[in-house]
Amino acid sequence: MADQLHSYEPATGTLLWSGDIGDADTEVAAARSGWASWAALPLTVRIETMRRFGNVVRQRADAFADLLARETGKPLWESRTEVESVIAKVDISVAAYAERTSQRRLDAPMGSRMALRHKPHGVLAVLGPYNFPAHLPNGHIVPALLAGNAVVFKPSEKTPAVGAFLVDCYRAAGVPDACIRLLIGGPAEGKALADHAEIDGLLFTGSARTGLALNRAFANKPEKILALEMGGNNPIIVWDTPDLHTAAVLVIQSAFTTAGQRCTAARRLIVDDKLYDPLIDTINTMVGRLIVGSPHDDPAPFMGPVIDNDVADQLTESFLALLMRGGRPIRHLERTIEDKPFLVPAIIDVTAVTDRPDIELFGPILQVIRADDFDAAIAEANNTRYGLSASLISQTPALYDRFWSGVRAGIVNWNKPTNGASSSAPFGGVGWSGNHRPSAFYAADYCAYPVVSNEAESARASLGVGLRDA
């Protein structure tokens, strides 16, 4: 096993960061030793610490965005929006804690009182993804810390520098070192952390394959909380709309923002036969104008490279596999620089492919499917084991009512992209997209557990039946 983990800039191949590979036992033991004192602090102290964290990130925003752009390859403008989301998460989490897990009184019989309070779980492990290496793990960590947990955070092995930067911001804000631990490493370290006997739960964002393995591993551990946010084979339907330009923009935003590396990205475009030719022509023309470039290029690119050459190779193989199954290319997946992971978005008609693989192609590949009636379009949208995000582009409210009722997804949008979900709302899906533990605003739910207490100032009790005479 290598002693260090190295991170390289996708756009240039330059070494960006190196760090020692950590040990799960060491990090969990440190968190276990520190969480109780953190949990014992008044909530107001933890809230103030999180607000200081937001201010630390705000002060370091330029450096943070630059690092994010370099390590992920995403454009600088998009990296800045991710840093803004990290800051905004604090106020959102404070509001969510108050609404979802606050202390309250319940109705109780005379002479007693019923109280509802929430307790932290203890030590929570957080496994982060590479596509939003700050925003998504931060969406677990901030509510976990607010609730009084300690956190062991393992960032993706593809984005360790952003993970280390994020942890340094928590510590600079006053989160005790013992309560925010950083575990650097690859799959082996992630597995060791997930399997560790001394964690009280695992909060995961990543692929369905890993999430399913975690679900199996936790099947005999009901005492541990497991929150899974996985991917999606998300549909976007275009039906009965005269504004094809706007429809094309929404499709492109859904499919190709962040180089298609969003769990909510549209993977499948389902389109009315009558709109097919003009819509596809409009989309294809727009895609031809998209700038694919390095994070700091001027003019700013719409999208950067995918995360690394291995992913670019896998996406190329997946596109060729669709061609071999009978897919009709509308725009080929092009590798613009041979030894770099820059991909020009691809569009492929898979209507005639009868055995379409139900997988999440995590990159800029859009599959197009014709439909001859709206019920068939909804059926095609639901033709997946996933159920994260779905969107309808249509000017007909009655169609949206049918779509909302009939489609199976945790995020259902109308005349909006499939992506761009708000942190002020719950975020999660069904099927292979999650395990009914939605994150974002509802993250508070899995960071603390409810405790109900029936209480009275003095003990009073009597047995009114079932006693022999004295």
Q: Which residues pair with 458 in a beta bridge?
A: none
Q: Residue 19: which of 2, 5, 3 has the closest Cα? A: 5
Q: What is the pLDDT of residue 1?
A: 44
Q: What values do phi and psi take at 184, rounded to 5?
A: -90, 135
DSSP letter assigned to residue 438:
-
Task: Specify whether the CB–CB gap between 391 and 266 falls below 8 A.
Answer: yes
Q: What is the pLDDT of residue 427?
A: 96
Task: Specify whether the CB–CB gap between 266 and 418 falls below 8 A.
Answer: yes
Rounded CA-CA distance 57/1 in Å is: 34
Q: Residue 331: which of 312, 344, 347, 343 has the closest Cα? A: 347
Q: Quickly tell me which residue has 């999430």 as its tokens.
A: 211
Q: How many helices (H) and strands (E) does the chain have?
A: 14, 21
Rounded CA-CA distance 127/125 in Å is: 7
Q: Which residues pair with 152 in a beta bridge?
A: 125, 181
Q: What is the CA radius of gyration of the chain?
A: 24
Rounded CA-CA distance 59/321 in Å is: 47
Q: Could you tell me whether strands 328-331 and 346-349 are parallel, antiparallel, or unpaired per DSSP bridges?
A: antiparallel
Q: What is the pLDDT of residue 364?
A: 98
Pick the CATH number of 4-230+434-455 from 3.40.605.10, 3.40.1440.60, 3.40.50.2000, 3.40.50.880: 3.40.605.10
Q: Does the CA dihedral 8-14-17-18 come out positive or negative?
A: positive
Q: Which residues pair with 427 in a beta bridge?
A: 439
Between helix 61-72 and helix 43-59 the angle, nearest 10°, is: 70
Structure tokens at 222: 């009901």
Q: Residue 374: which of 277, 276, 273, 244 has the closest Cα? A: 273
Task: Name the helix (H) or strand (E) containing 98.
Answer: helix 76-100
Rounded CA-CA distance 218/225 in Å is: 9
Rounded CA-CA distance 100/435 in Å is: 19
Catalytic residue positions?
229, 263
For domain 234-414, which architecture applies? 3-Layer(aba) Sandwich (3.40)
* Residues of each domain in the chain carrying CATH 3.40.605.10: 4-230+434-455
Peptide bond into 299 cis (omega under 30): yes
Rounded CA-CA distance 350/463 in Å is: 73
Q: What is the pLDDT of residue 184?
A: 98
Q: What is the pLDDT of residue 2?
A: 54
* Residues of each domain in the chain carrying CATH 3.40.309.10: 234-414
Length of the chain measured in residues:
470
Q: What is the pLDDT of residue 111?
A: 65
Q: Could you tell me whether strands 123-127 and 201-205 are parallel, antiparallel, or unpaired per DSSP bridges?
A: parallel
pTM of the model: 0.96
Task: Specify whether the CB–CB gap between 263 and 434 falls below 8 A.
Answer: no
Rounded CA-CA distance 120/137 in Å is: 18
Q: Quickly tell me which residue has 């009275």 as its tokens.
A: 456
Question: How would you write the pLDDT of the chain (470 residues) with one tens digit per residue?
Answer: 459 999 999 999 999 999 999 999 999 999 999 999 999 999 999 999 999 999 999 999 999 999 999 999 999 999 999 999 999 999 999 999 999 998 888 877 766 788 999 999 999 999 999 999 999 999 999 999 999 999 999 999 999 999 999 999 999 999 999 999 999 999 999 999 999 999 999 999 999 999 999 999 999 999 999 999 999 999 999 999 999 999 999 999 999 999 999 999 999 999 999 999 999 999 999 999 999 999 999 999 999 999 999 999 999 999 999 999 999 999 999 999 999 999 999 999 999 998 999 999 999 999 999 999 999 999 999 999 999 999 999 999 999 999 999 999 999 999 999 999 999 999 999 999 999 999 999 999 999 999 999 888 888 888 889 998 87
3-state secondary structure of 394: coil
Task: Name the helix (H) or strand (E) containing 7.
Answer: strand 4-8
Q: What is the pLDDT of residue 459?
A: 84
Q: What is the pLDDT of residue 208?
A: 95
